[in-house]
Amino acid sequence: MNENINISTELWVEILQDREISTMPVIQILSFLFNSDGCASSGGELAFALNYKHHAPLNRIIPDFSKRIIRKYPFIDPPYRRNGTIRYWHIPFLGTDSKEGFVWILRPELAEALPQVFENIGKEKKLTILQEIEKLKHSYETLQKTTRESIIQSRIGQGQFRISLISYWQGCSVSSCIQFEILKASHIKPWRLSTNDERLDVFNGLLLLPNLDACFDSGFISFEDNGNIIISNRLSNTSLLQLNINPKVKLIRVEEKHKDYLRFHREKVFRP
């Protein structure tokens, strides 16, 4: 499924610069994935974020994109199914199954090429998680397969966690904002202190606007079991105004499974 394909970063740059191949709908899809955690997304999330009613248009846009690539560059050896047909989705993407469904991931070479062509999607973006995965595969190639896959999946899991939160919250956990490109997947009980199961538990997460995410992660705000915000005395009134945070801010809902995580955050992370 995730076999290599002979398209280098340099060739992806050329493909992205060709507007007959890389149409605007294609660029929108690739840009959204590039800016997503782990450069990964489900088809449903992609459709929702790009204002398609369902994922059916994606099933036309991506294969057509891949067909245009193969027509212009016939030397490309695409991935094939067992019945001999081409896996068009797997030309620009890797893929992995998760509890939330199938997750599409930008190929590392494509992820490297995008900021070279489109400065506005992150010219200064740091090493992507996909490149980290490739390094992990190389570094741990002497390990047993099950051990190696466990390490790789733990890295991909961070992207799957964000997908789970988007599916659950359907927008910012406080404001309901649905500009998914800017929303941050925030663990309530911090990643470094969580078990592997807790790291992927949708109830251990909030989907927040960047200002709220930074304050929550730093312990300047927390939330009661009823969803009401708690504000640290370390935030000045001026800062609160600038951050658009006030005592009326609250989570749009809290379920029973959130409460232990929220209690941990109040006791161990929040800074009164």
pLDDT (tens place) for every residue of the chain, 272 residues total: 567 788 998 999 999 999 899 998 898 888 888 877 777 888 877 787 777 777 788 889 999 999 999 999 999 988 888 888 888 989 998 877 655 567 888 888 888 888 888 765 543 444 444 454 455 445 444 444 554 444 444 444 456 677 778 878 888 999 988 887 788 889 999 888 888 788 888 899 999 999 999 999 999 999 999 999 999 999 999 999 999 999 999 999 999 999 999 999 999 999 99
C-alpha–C-alpha distance, residues 211 and 249, integer Å: 13
pLDDT at 181: 77
C-alpha–C-alpha distance, residues 7 and 107, integer Å: 10
Same domain, 9 and 125: yes
C-alpha–C-alpha distance, residues 96 and 76, integer Å: 23
Same domain, 130 and 243: no
Q: Of 154, 169, 184, at which residue does a domain stop?
A: 169
Same domain, 208 and 265: yes
- For 249, the domain range is 171-272
Q: What is the DSSP string of the chain?
A: -----S--HHHHHHHHH-TTTS-HHHHHHHHHHHTSGGGEEEHHHHHHHTT-SSSTTHHHHHHHHHHHHHHH-TT----B-TTS-B-GGGTTEEEEEETTEEEEEE-HHHHHHHHHH-GGGTTT----HHHHHHHHHHHTTTS-HHHHHHHHHHHHHHHHHHHHHHHHHSS-TTT----TTT-EEEESS-GGGS-HHHHH-GGGEEEE-HHHHHHHHHTSEEE-TTSBEEE-TTS-HHHHHHHT--TT-B-S---HHHHHHHHHIIIII---
Number of domains the chain contains: 2
Same domain, 102 and 140: yes
Q: Which whole-number Å values give the CA distances from 195 to 39, 219, 232, 256, in the listed order? A: 24, 20, 27, 19
Residue 261 neighbours by CB distance under 10 Å: 19
pLDDT at 108: 84
Using an 8 Å Cβ cutoff, are 200 and 194 in contact? no
Q: Of 169, 199, 228, at which residue does a domain stop?
A: 169
Residue 118 neighbours by CB distance under 10 Å: 17
pLDDT at 3: 72
Q: Of 151, 169, 187, at which residue does a domain stop?
A: 169
Same domain, 75 and 210: no
pLDDT at 126: 40
pLDDT at 140: 43
Same domain, 272 and 215: yes
Query: 103 has which bridge partners?
Result: 42, 96
C-alpha–C-alpha distance, residues 90 and 183, integer Å: 27
C-alpha–C-alpha distance, residues 198 and 101, integer Å: 19
Same domain, 187 and 262: yes
Same domain, 246 and 230: yes
Same domain, 148 and 180: no
Could you tell me the pTM of the whole model?
A: 0.49
Same domain, 221 and 125: no
Same domain, 231 and 221: yes
Q: Which whole-number Å values give the CA distances from 142 to 74, 136, 157, 216, 256, in the listed order? A: 35, 11, 22, 40, 44
Same domain, 137 and 228: no
